[in-house]
Amino acid sequence: MAEIPVLKIGDCLLVSIQIDMHDRLAMALQDDLTRRIVADRARGVMIDISALEIVDSFIGRMLNNIAAMSRVLDAVTVVVGMRPAVAITLVELGLSLTGVRTALNVDKGLALIRQAIDEQGGSFARRSL
Amino acid sequence: MPVEASDVLSLRSSDDVVRARQAVRAKAVEAGFGIVDQTKLVTAASEIARNTVDYGGGGTLLIEILREGARRGVQLTFSDNGPGIPDVKAAMTDGFTTGGGLGLGLSGAKRLSNEFSIESMPGKGTTVTLARWNR
Amino acid sequence: MEAKSMTAIPRLLAGNEQALLDAWLDSQRKSGTLRSGQISEAQLGNDSRRLLAALSEGAASGKVDDIATPAWDHARNVLEEVSRSRAALGLSPSETATFVFSLKEPLFELLRRTANGDPERLAHEMWTATLLIDKLGLYTIETFVNSRDAVILRQQQELLELSTPVVRLWEGILVLPLIGTLDSARTQTVMESLLEEIVAEGAEIAIIDITGVPTVDTLVAQHLIKTVAAARLMGADCIISGIRPQIAQTIVHLGLELGVISKATMADAFALALRRLGKAVTENPRLRPEQ
């Protein structure tokens, strides 16, 4: 079974979904990412879905789960590159991506992660004083 | 209503769900659908195909291109001989799920389609028919 | 198979093509087809010759009662060309169809001469010929209508593109000035292209200006709301500007929640967009041109 590669850039993990995933692969990705966030002490997770032609409720659930798990592990999740047709369909489908931040592309996604981490770090620092 | 083309697929595994998506996409392109209509149809198909595999114990998908005057549409018929749905009305409400999903499968697919019908009886299997027309 | 053996038309056409052509041209001249001067004698001769040859070919190799079969492909092509060239010359579709129908006169004359005094036979052949030529004449009208429809479609497309430009107001800020009445189909198309532009430009803010839109109904408002939601899902934000008092009233009256920031003027929307992106416009007197 093919695996989806997870790359590490600094304290961020980057996943680029290039293929039409079947459900087992999506579950494997979810598990793999969670494991890696802990193993690599990642502060940010970026999921690039610019190659995805379809995001259905299963994939949506996967994205929400990843965001929820990473939040528990003190990491920020950003989904980038959603195609217009996919966005329009998701709105029609009624699917909301809770706890998932989105950005137009990888560059903006990284900037968003940095900004979010700084915000969290800032508030934490204030609390501990 | 004349049927211009048709395709039959078996839905037994999650690989078949992927294959079904691709086959539906191909037929939608053949019927001259724009990218948004294609995406909505394939997403609806993905939802129901998954239901057929996960809850229906596997089944079949019939893809047909229909023609009505100048318009063309794609009709999908999913059938299985699984346990059936006891309360179809409840199953069609948003958020209803017996399997830990988001509960958007049936109701979501209906929202993405121009026509949608479902026949299901406990012990008699389920048939879902949905169609989308070219704008 | 039966039709072929039951009609002498294919044989007669093949054996009398030149004579038929001469008779046809003669009768067309007499009927005053060339009087208007829209079509030249040479052109008329050419069209007639080609059509007759194609007719003979189609009849010889195929059924005479179905011109949709492959054997009649060439004949249909000739009819299409004739229909188009005559439309370009300013002739009406009826005039073109009449041109085809006028072949009946010399053809019936030929049938009468070769009938050998058999009225039953003659009546049958004339009916077969009538049906065939009627189909051919009607086909030219169909071609005319189809090409008209194609022109209309193309013009609609061009109009749509003309009236919905997406403008890059600043780096990262797009403006979509909507003009005119919006119907459901047009709104959907326009919104889709806005979202495509957002991706292409990497623009985080899109200003949708509806100053030029006289009325907004529920359907259009819903499309706007869905587009804003889709843009958010993608990682961009929308600001709606140019909401006139009447439209504001309609929106409230319809009980719609826009769920998006809206500003009265595009200028206000632009100022807000700049602030959001952390940019500001400052005054620098030294930049003014020397008086």
pLDDT on residue A126: 44
Q: Do domains C2-157 and C167-279 have the same CATH topology?
A: no
Q: Which of residues 59-88 of A touch C (CB under 8 A)?
A: 80, 82-85, 87-88
How far is C143 from C148, CA to CA, in rounded Å?
A: 9
Instruction: Enumerate the residues of chain B whose CB falls inside 8 A of the CB of residue C185.
Output: 135
Angstroms from B35 CA to nearest CA on chain C = 10
Does residue A1 carry a pLDDT above 70?
no
Alpha-carbon C157 to chain mean position: 9
- Residues 6+ away with beta carbon under 8 Å from C81: none
| Measured CA distances, C21 to C7, C12, C48, C105, C130 (Å) | 20, 13, 7, 11, 18
Higher-pLDDT residue of C235 and C29 is C235
- Residues 6+ away with beta carbon under 8 Å from C96: C82, C83, C86, C87, C140, C141, C144
Instruction: Enumerate the residues of chain C whose CB falls inside 8 A of the CB of residue B135.
Output: 185, 188
C243-259: average pLDDT: 79
What is the SS3 string spanning B34-88? CHHHHHHHHHHHHHHHHHHHHCCCCEEEEEEEEEECCEEEEEEEEEECCCCCCCH
The string of pLDDT tens digits covering residues B34-72 is 999 999 999 999 999 999 999 889 999 999 999 887 789
Does residue A6 carry a pLDDT above 80?
yes
Angstroms from B17 CA to nearest CA on chain C = 25
Domains of chain C: which residue ranges? 2-157, 167-279
CA atoms within 13 A on the CB side of B134: 17
Q: Which residue of B has its CA nearest to C195?
A: B36
**CATH T-level assignment (fold) for domain C167-279:** Transcription Regulator spoIIAA (3.30.750)
* ipTM of the complex, rounded to two decimals: 0.89
Instruction: Name the nearest CA neighbour of B22 among A61, A87, A53.
Output: A53
**CATH T-level assignment (fold) for domain C2-157:** Globin-like (1.10.490)
Alpha helices in C164-209 (DSSP H): 184-201
Q: How many domains does chain B have?
A: 1
What is chain B's alpha carbon radius of gyration, rounded to the nearest angstrom?
A: 14
C175-191: average pLDDT: 83
Angstroms from A87 CA to nearest CA on chain C = 5
How many Cβ atoms are within 10 Å of A65's Cβ, its own excluded? 16
By CB atoms closer than 10 A (0-12, 13-18, 19+), residue C92 is exposed
How far is B9 from B14, CA to CA, in rounded Å?
A: 13
A118-124: average pLDDT: 64
pLDDT on residue C4: 42
The string of pLDDT tens digits covering residues A75-110 is 999 999 999 999 999 999 988 887 899 999 999 999
Supply the mean pLDDT for chain C. 86
C222 touches chain B (CB under 8 A): no
C204 touches chain A (CB under 8 A): yes
CATH code of residue B91: 3.30.565.10
Domains of chain A: which residue ranges? 6-128
Site from B37, B39, B135 to mutate, C interface, most C CB atoms within 10 angstroms: B135
pLDDT level of residue A125 (50, 70, 90 thresholds):
very low
- CB contact at 8 A, C193 and A85: no
pTM across the whole model: 0.71
Chains that touch C (3 or more CB pairs under 8 A): A, B
C213-230: average pLDDT: 85
Angstroms from B9 CA to nearest CA on chain C = 32
Domain range A6-128, CATH class: alpha beta
Instruction: Name the nearest CA neighbour of C222 among C262, C178, C258, C179.
Output: C258
Which domain does B49 fall in, by range? 3-133
